[in-house]
């Protein structure tokens, strides 16, 4: 048996007032013995009772103290994970097992694992409902697990290495922490602006032992800020090559886009691992250059697509790829921000402390402008506007979930209604056609209501997701029955993404966002910009191209 199909069962039963029960019924006992063990996992967050729809998914939250109470049971083993997932490892053997555990400061709870009849396996997990200690709702929701040799159904799952880690009771956090020794990582910083400040905050929160050895930036106050952050240890440099000459393990690069590939290639050539902010390229052509530099080296490069390490995004992608939404044919993406707000307004720059020529690098020579220095993303010489800044994050998630990363036809409508001094449009609508599915994007830079997010629309359900969490909305249900499943974010994805990068620096394994993912996400934005600059639409690859 290589897949598991989840089928909702409409069932209500009486239970103790402070407990609910989730029953998992697995058929084809022979298949279990042939497989010896297989893994089932369901992503959960801050859960509630699921909708009682016939094909609903289950909402629940287990108490962390359950984990130790059921470990080493010869029958079923239930592991409660720190990253918001529950895994069930089904083993051959063990006829009946009831485990109780005394929870500190609470009344005794009962957690039971139960097996009955030769051909049907029942795994009944009694648990205290999340946030409902005093609830008198006595219903519970049952779900049937059916062995199936074919993929498909509301939710199909094939065991793989990640599921093994999950079902073994190891979180992504725990598994990466044991990969490297306790040696302190020596880090170089290139580009010390606001985004780098966020990256260093995430590095601090990652729990990894690291030391900032050197920092490079064209603006003196920013170099000094990082030096102070390192307790005065970091050396400061105008030229980033001097950072690369240091005895360091890796560099974090968060310079403007037009510097990304040049700095990354130099760092790789110098034998340094690289965390490269998105978009990883400034032009389509740079993609081949960066890819060659990575693959011809022995270095690790993590693209700054942090959703790839964000737990609820990873869980959502698992659900989409497992078929829980049915056939997904449309993805809607959006992102609204307001650059008119006070927090977005540039601060005065001390021109004497800034090397403007160094900042320009290979861009055309031009006079200093505070607007360009702070809002460089909206000028073609330095960035690519919304399509390579904001859209790049969301299209990466779409590529990841849909397993397709090159659009065939692209249309883009863009206008400069508010920020007329920019090169890039401040109001955008775009549509991209991929084989078998479409994606749309809309956004503007003078309104922040609704922020940003994605919607994956399938024939059976829609998944709505943003950086706060996600929800699944099943077709045919009443409004008060949806969402049937939801999960809240509990840690910023940049923290777990930095954690993954540091772990790969030590283990030499491929990171969650390898170079190809970043190149593909940037390429989609570049193609959309090409459409905007020409007739508003373009086919890819262009006709007549090699």
Average pLDDT in the 14-22 region? 31
Q: Are 277 and 195 in contact (CB under 8 A)?
A: yes
pLDDT level of residue 182 (50, 70, 90 thresholds): low
Average pLDDT in the 39-56 region? 31
Stated pTM of the model: 0.70
Residues constituting the chain: 546
pLDDT level of residue 253 (50, 70, 90 thresholds): very high
pLDDT > 80? residue 164: no
Q: What is the mean pLDDT of the chain?
A: 75
pLDDT higher for 235 or 106? 235
Average pLDDT in the 333-348 region? 86
- CATH, domain 181-303, list 3.40.50.1360, 3.40.50.2000, 3.40.50.720, 3.20.20.70: 3.40.50.720
Grouping H, G, I as helix, E, B as strand and the rest as coil, residue 512 is coil
Query: Which helix (H) or strand (E) is 428 found in, with range?
Result: strand 427-434
Average pLDDT in the 380-404 region? 98
Distance, in Å, from the CA atom of 135 to the CA atom of 127, rounded to the nearest integer, reads: 13
Instruction: Report the sign of the C-alpha dihedral through residues 447, 451, 453, 459, in that order.
Output: negative
Please list the residue range(s) of the chain that carry CATH number 3.30.360.10.
Answer: 308-539
CB atoms within 10 A of CB 149: 9
Give me the DSSP letters along 319-346: HHHTTTTSSEEEEEEEE--BTTSGGGSP
Q: Nearest CA to 115 among 75, 145, 71?
A: 75
The confidence score (pLDDT) of residue 449 equals 94
Distance, in Å, from the CA atom of 180 to the CA atom of 50, rounded to the nearest integer, reads: 40
Name the range with the highest mean pLDDT among 11-20, 164-173, 236-245: 236-245
Grouping H, G, I as helix, E, B as strand and the rest as coil, residue 148 is strand
Q: Are 158 and 4 in contact (CB under 8 A)?
A: no
The confidence score (pLDDT) of residue 544 equals 72
pLDDT higher for 361 or 150? 361
**Residue 395 CA: distances (Å) to CA of 40, 205, 275, 310:** 29, 27, 20, 15
Instruction: Report the sign of the C-alpha dihedral through residues 51, 317, 412, 259, in that order.
Output: positive
Q: How far apart are the first and last CA of the chain?
A: 45
pLDDT > 80? residue 450: yes
415-420, Cβ contacts within 8 angstroms, sequence gap of 24 or more: 417/444, 417/446, 418/340, 418/444, 418/445, 418/446, 419/339, 419/378, 419/445, 419/446
Q: Which two tokens stand for residue 538?
A: 């373009």
Q: Are 140 and 59 in contact (CB under 8 A)?
A: no
Q: Nearest CA to 8 among 43, 58, 42?
A: 58
Average pLDDT in the 353-369 region? 97
Q: Are 443 and 386 in contact (CB under 8 A)?
A: yes
Q: What percent of the chain has pLDDT over 90?
A: 64
CB atoms within 10 A of CB 354: 18
pLDDT > 60? residue 326: yes
Q: Which residues, in sequence order, are CB contacts of 194 under 8 Å at separation 6+?
A: none
Beta strand pairing call for 185-190 and 250-253: parallel
Number of H helices, E strands in the chain: 16, 25
For residue 184, with 0-12 CB atoms within 10 Å meaning exposed, 13-18 middle and 19 or more buried, which class applies? exposed
Please list the residue range(s) of the chain that carry CATH number 3.40.50.720.
Answer: 181-303
pLDDT > 70? residue 108: no
Average pLDDT in the 480-484 region? 95
The confidence score (pLDDT) of residue 542 equals 87
CATH architecture group of domain 308-539: 2-Layer Sandwich (3.30)
Average pLDDT in the 167-194 region? 62
The confidence score (pLDDT) of residue 331 equals 98
Q: Are 392 and 278 in contact (CB under 8 A)?
A: yes
Average pLDDT in the 75-94 region? 34
* pLDDT digit string, tens, across residues 65-77: 333 333 333 333 2
Beta bridge partner(s), residue 424: none
For residue 537, with 0-12 CB atoms within 10 Å meaning exposed, 13-18 middle and 19 or more buried, which class applies? middle
pLDDT level of residue 346 (50, 70, 90 thresholds): confident
Q: Are 57 and 484 in contact (CB under 8 A)?
A: yes
The confidence score (pLDDT) of residue 359 equals 98
For residue 384, with 0-12 CB atoms within 10 Å meaning exposed, 13-18 middle and 19 or more buried, which class applies? buried
* Helices within 237-321 (DSSP H only): 240-244, 260-269, 286-295, 311-321
Please provide residue 460's backbone torsions phi and psi, each rounded to the nearest 5 degrees. -115, -25
Average pLDDT in the 269-273 region? 98
The confidence score (pLDDT) of residue 256 equals 98
């Amino acid at each position: 048996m290589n897949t598991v199909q989840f089928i909702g069962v409409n069932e209500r039963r009486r239970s103790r007032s402070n407990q609910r029960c989730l029953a998992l019924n697995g058929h084809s006992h022979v298949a279990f013995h042939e497989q010896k063990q297989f893994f089932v996992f369901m992503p959960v967050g801050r859960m509630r009772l699921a909708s009682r729809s016939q094909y609903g998914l289950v909402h629940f939250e287990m108490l962390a103290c359950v984990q130790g109470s059921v470990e080493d049971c010869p029958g079923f083993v239930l592991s409660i994970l720190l990253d918001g997932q529950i895994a069930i490892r089904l083993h051959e053997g063990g006829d009946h097992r009831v485990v109780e555990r005394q929870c500190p400061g609470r009344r005794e709870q009962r957690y039971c694992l139960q097996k009955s009849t030769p051909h049907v396996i029942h795994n009944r997990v009694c648990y205290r409902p999340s946030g409902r200690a005093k609830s008198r709702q006595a219903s519970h929701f049952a779900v049937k697990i059916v062995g199936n040799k074919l993929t498909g159904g509301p939710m199909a799952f094939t065991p793989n290495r990640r599921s093994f880690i999950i079902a073994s009771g190891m979180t992504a956090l725990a598994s990466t922490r044991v990969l490297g020794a306790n040696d302190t990582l020596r880090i170089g910083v290139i580009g010390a602006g606001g985004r780098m400040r966020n990256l260093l905050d995430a590095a601090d929160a990652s729990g990894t032992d690291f030391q900032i050895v050197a920092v490079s930036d064209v603006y003196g106050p920013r170099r000094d800020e990082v030096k102070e952050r390192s307790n005065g240890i970091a050396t400061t440099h105008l030229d980033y090559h001097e950072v690369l000459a240091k005895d360091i393990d890796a560099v974090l690069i968060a310079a403007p886009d037009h510097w990304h590939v040049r700095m990354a290639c130099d760092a790789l050539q110098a034998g340094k691992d690289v965390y490269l902010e998105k978009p990883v390229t400034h032009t389509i052509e740079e993609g081949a250059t960066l890819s060659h530099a990575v693959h011809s080296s022995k270095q690790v490069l993590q693209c700054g697509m942090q959703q790839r390490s964000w737990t609820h995004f990873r869980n959502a992608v698992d659900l989409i790829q497992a078929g829980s939404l049915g056939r997904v044919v449309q993805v809607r993406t959006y992102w609204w921000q307001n650059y008119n707000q006070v927090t977005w307004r540039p601060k005065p720059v001390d021109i004497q402390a800034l090397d403007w020529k160094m900042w320009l690098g290979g861009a055309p020579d031009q006079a200093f402008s505070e607007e360009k220095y702070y809002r460089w993303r909206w000028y073609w010489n330095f960035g690519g506007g919304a399509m390579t800044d904001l859209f790049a994050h969301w299209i990466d998630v779409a590529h990841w979930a849909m397993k397709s990363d090159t659009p065939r036809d692209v249309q883009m409508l863009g206008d400069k209604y508010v920020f007329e001094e920019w090169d890039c449009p401040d109001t955008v609508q775009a549509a991209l056609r991929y084989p078998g599915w479409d994606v749309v994007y809309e956004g503007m830079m003078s309104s922040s209501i609704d922020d940003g997010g994605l919607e994956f629309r399938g024939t059976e359900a829609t998944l709505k997701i943003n950086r706060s969490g996600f929800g699944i909305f099943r077709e045919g249900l009443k409004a008060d029955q949806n969402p049937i499943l939801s999960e809240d974010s509990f840690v910023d994805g940049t923290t777990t993404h930095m954690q993954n990068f540091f772990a790969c620096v030590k283990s030499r394994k491929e990171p969650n966002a390898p170079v190809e993912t970043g190149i593909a996400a940037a390429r989609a934005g570049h193609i959309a910009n090409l459409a905007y600059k020409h007739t508003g639409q373009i086919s890819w690859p262009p006709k007549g191209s090699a």
